[in-house]
Amino acid sequence: MRIPSLLLPAAVAVLLLGCAPFPTVPSDVSFDDGLTAEGLLERTLAAHGGDLSDDPVDFNLAMDGEWSSAIVRIQPVVTDAGYRISARERYRPADRLYSVRHQGPDGTKTIIRQDENIRVYYDGVEETDPQILKASAMTTDAFELFHFGPSFLKRRAADMSRLPDQRENDIDYRRFLVVIRPGFGEAEEDQVVVWMHPETDLMFRVHITLNGFETTQGAHVDTTFLEYHRLGDYILPSRFAERVRGPIRIHAHDWWLTGADHDRGWSLDEVRQAEFSGTAADAEGPLQPISEN
């Protein structure tokens, strides 16, 4: 992660306090419960309602958020905070189509990601800058993990290993490491550490590398899921807190869903353009608590 020269040495020293290397698999660890990393992924996948990777229906999310001023200064291209504050997302897993329309103080940014292809529009005008496209591909893939985590990992997992449990706030979270190929955006591979709640099996946190953009190579961040909602048969996170863990340690981003619904039946043409149209343009429904059936 590139730190701009405007930061004074003393400030850099403060940012570096408490940062740690990305987790690695110890050679001498054993587990008494008989659960493998593959078994843990299947358990959290089931807890979230199953694998939605081939679900033919559409998923529609609305969100709002806040960036920390520090991460905006350090990573202006990746955060793109003039445009990426609130957002409306349209996702159809069976078609591998993820379209998001961001809104910020500088205007609108639309990202259309299908398989490995990406198109980006600023205020309706298509962007061709390779750096913008590369950063947008990485962040959009990462948000697919954040919002639809276990299914994303199931589809991209190339290797998995279990890690020792980690205690936080009197809870011993189960953890496992997933190597994903391809990685986020144009990365050949990335690594994801999953934290699972020992009683609910829901994902509590993901800790990831970001190899898909030059200024984030060597960096790693984690995102904690603070609340969940129900969307059809699925249990998905609805409130998020993101932190940079290395090579510096700072709070980066808070965001939360403001609406969600699914199975509208929009066509691909209604979301593969700078503005949503037809049923894809309709407002999102209210969040449904996970206690409701």
Q: What is the pLDDT of residues 170-209, one digit of tens each?
A: 999 999 999 999 999 999 999 999 999 999 999 999 999 9
Share of the chain above pLDDT 70, in %: 92
In this model, does residue 257 exceed pLDDT 70?
A: yes
The region, left, alpha or beta by phi > 0 then psi within -120 to 50, assigned to residue 28 is alpha
pLDDT, one tens digit per residue, over 55-114 is 999 999 999 999 999 999 999 999 999 999 999 999 999 999 999 999 999 999 999 999
Query: Does the residue 15 lie in any domain?
Result: no
| Residue 98, SS3 per DSSP | strand
CA-atom Rg of the chain in angstroms: 19
Share of the chain above pLDDT 90, in %: 87
CATH code for the domain of 226: 2.50.20.10
Question: What pLDDT, on the 0 to 100 scale, is given for residue 34?
Answer: 85
Q: How far apart are CA 146 and CA 114, in angstroms?
A: 17
Q: Which two tokens stand for residue 71?
A: 């991460």
Query: Does the residue 100 lie in any domain?
Result: yes
Q: How far apart are CA 19 and CA 200, in angstroms?
A: 29
Query: Does the residue 4 lie in any domain?
Result: no
Query: Does the residue 50 lie in any domain?
Result: yes
| Residue 243, SS3 per DSSP | strand
**Structurally, how many domains does the chain consist of?**
1
Q: What is the mean pLDDT of residues 212-231?
A: 96
pLDDT, one tens digit per residue, over 115-154 is 999 999 999 999 999 999 999 999 999 999 999 999 999 9
Question: What pLDDT, on the 0 to 100 scale, is given for residue 21?
Answer: 84
Q: Which domain holds residue 100?
A: 34-278
Calculate ∠ Cα 137-143-146, nearest 5°.
Answer: 150
Query: Does the residue 154 lie in any domain?
Result: yes
Average model confidence (pLDDT) for the chain?
Answer: 92
Query: Does the residue 18 lie in any domain?
Result: no
Q: How far apart are CA 293 and CA 289, in angstroms?
A: 9
CB 198 within 8 A of CB 173: yes
Query: Does the residue 9 lie in any domain?
Result: no
Query: Does the residue 14 lie in any domain?
Result: no
